[in-house]
């Protein structure tokens, strides 16, 4: 036993881990433990004080955060695709807005493009339909004109309601004109001019006997009016395309609720 003790002491002296610079690897320093314990106590005390200061309602709201307030680290494929298409729509719409202002590349043609857009406005069409209705003397003509007037009024109400729900702004900060305010066409989605010309072109193609060149010109007119709304910067491309879709649906709705000749004569007599 006496001989084994000096050997154990010699092994301890020769052990590298017993040196002062390696002691921290085996045992944490007391100062660090004390500082860590004190910091933990302070943080726990601060958390307890903060929890006491907050109201129960705020604590419940913080515990039940809605999903939209949380950052989505793994977004869905549908969300990525929708945002990508939206970005492409905005970029392409701004590129096609060549008449958005006088400083644009086609700024000199802005007046002509605006004049083309007026041909698809609701106020001139309603006024022209009323004038034709007053001058019409045939029952068939009055029936078509009364249903056309109904289609125009439905178009204004439906588009105004959809725009109020969507409240989408155009690609450029352009204020609506006076005629736009009269028909409540103040937002971008859907495009009111596009829905109106789509509905009118389909209406005339179904209820008027037109030659083939006139039918082609009627379709081209509707497409040009829709394109003009993008060129002046009032609508996005998707606004115009959705306007065409809604215009066709409005035509189908008018066909379903088509007023007969007797109903039209009764309404004309009341008026």
Write the Ramachandran bin of 184: left for phi over 0, alpha for psi from -120 to 50, otherwise beta. left
Q: What's CA 38's distance to the chain center, in Å?
A: 53
Given pLDDT bands bounded at 50, 70 and 90, which one contains residue 258? very high
Given pLDDT bands bounded at 50, 70 and 90, which one contains residue 206? very high
The arithmetic mean of pLDDT across residues 222-250, rounded, is 93
Backbone angles phi, psi at 175, to 5 degrees: -75, 140
Is pLDDT at 106 greater than 60 in this prediction? yes
Q: What is the pTM of this model?
A: 0.70
Does residue 8 sit within a domain?
no
pLDDT value at residue 157:
93
pLDDT tens per residue across span 18-76? 555 445 544 544 444 454 555 555 555 544 445 455 455 555 555 554 444 444 555 67
The arithmetic mean of pLDDT across residues 247-264, rounded, is 93
Does residue 173 sit within a domain?
yes
Beta-carbon contacts of 260 under 8 Å, excluding residues fewer than 6 positions away, are 143
pLDDT value at residue 148:
95
Does residue 130 sit within a domain?
yes
pLDDT tens per residue across span 116-150? 988 999 899 999 999 999 898 889 889 999 999 99
Given pLDDT bands bounded at 50, 70 and 90, which one contains residue 205? very high
Is pLDDT at 203 greater than 80 in this prediction? yes
Does residue 27 sit within a domain?
no
> Helices 212-231 and 110-118: crossing angle, nearest 10°?
120
Does residue 73 sit within a domain?
no
pLDDT tens per residue across span 141-193? 899 999 999 999 999 999 999 999 999 888 887 777 777 888 888 888 999 99
Does residue 212 sit within a domain?
yes
pLDDT value at residue 237:
94
Among the listed ranges 26-30, 198-202, 240-244, which one has the minimum average pLDDT value? 26-30
Beta-carbon contacts of 227 under 8 Å, excluding residues fewer than 6 positions away, are 96, 240
Point out the residues that are catalytic. 193, 235
Domain assignment of residue 136, given as a range: 107-270
Q: For residue 218, how many other CB atoms are within 10 A of its CB?
A: 17
The arithmetic mean of pLDDT across residues 202-211, rounded, is 92
Q: What span, in angstroms and rounded, lies between the C-alpha atoms of 192 and 188?
A: 8
pLDDT value at residue 247:
95
Q: Which two tokens stand for residue 127?
A: 């006024």
pLDDT value at residue 82:
79
Does residue 164 sit within a domain?
yes
Query: What sign does the dihedral 93-97-101-105 (CA atoms) show?
Result: positive
Is pLDDT at 271 greater than 60 in this prediction? yes
Q: For the chain, how many structural domains are there in total?
A: 1
Given pLDDT bands bounded at 50, 70 and 90, which one contains residue 2? low
Does residue 131 sit within a domain?
yes
Is pLDDT at 4 greater than 60 in this prediction? no
């Amino acid at each position: 036993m006496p001989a084994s003790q000096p050997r154990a002491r010699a092994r301890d002296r020769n052990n590298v881990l017993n040196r002062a610079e390696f002691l921290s690897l085996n045992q944490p320093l007391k100062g660090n433990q004390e500082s860590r314990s004190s910091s933990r106590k302070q943080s726990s005390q601060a958390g307890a004080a903060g929890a006491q200061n907050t109201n129960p309602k705020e604590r419940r709201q913080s515990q039940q955060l809605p999903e939209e307030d949380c950052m989505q680290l793994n977004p869905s494929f549908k969300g990525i695709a929708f945002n990508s298409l939206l970005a492409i729509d905005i970029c392409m719409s701004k590129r096609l807005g060549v008449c958005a202002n006088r400083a644009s590349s086609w700024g000199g043609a802005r007046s002509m493009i605006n004049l083309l857009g007026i041909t698809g406005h609701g106020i001139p069409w309603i006024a022209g339909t009323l004038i034709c209705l007053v001058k019409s003397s045939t029952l068939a003509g009055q029936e078509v004109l009364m249903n056309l007037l109904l289609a125009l009024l439905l178009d204004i109400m439906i588009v105004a309601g959809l725009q109020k729900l969507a409240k989408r702004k155009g690609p450029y900060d352009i204020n609506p004109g006076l005629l736009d305010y009269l028909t409540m066409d103040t937002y971008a989605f859907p495009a009111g001019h596009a829905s109106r010309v789509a509905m009118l072109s389909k209406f005339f193609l179904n209820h008027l006997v037109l030659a083939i060149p006139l039918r082609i010109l009627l379709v081209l007119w509707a497409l040009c009016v829709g394109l003009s709304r993008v060129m002046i910067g009032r609508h996005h491309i998707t606004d115009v395309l959705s306007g065409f879709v809604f215009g066709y649906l409005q035509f189908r709705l008018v066909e379903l609720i088509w007023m007969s000749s007797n109903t039209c004569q009764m309404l004309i007599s009341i008026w």
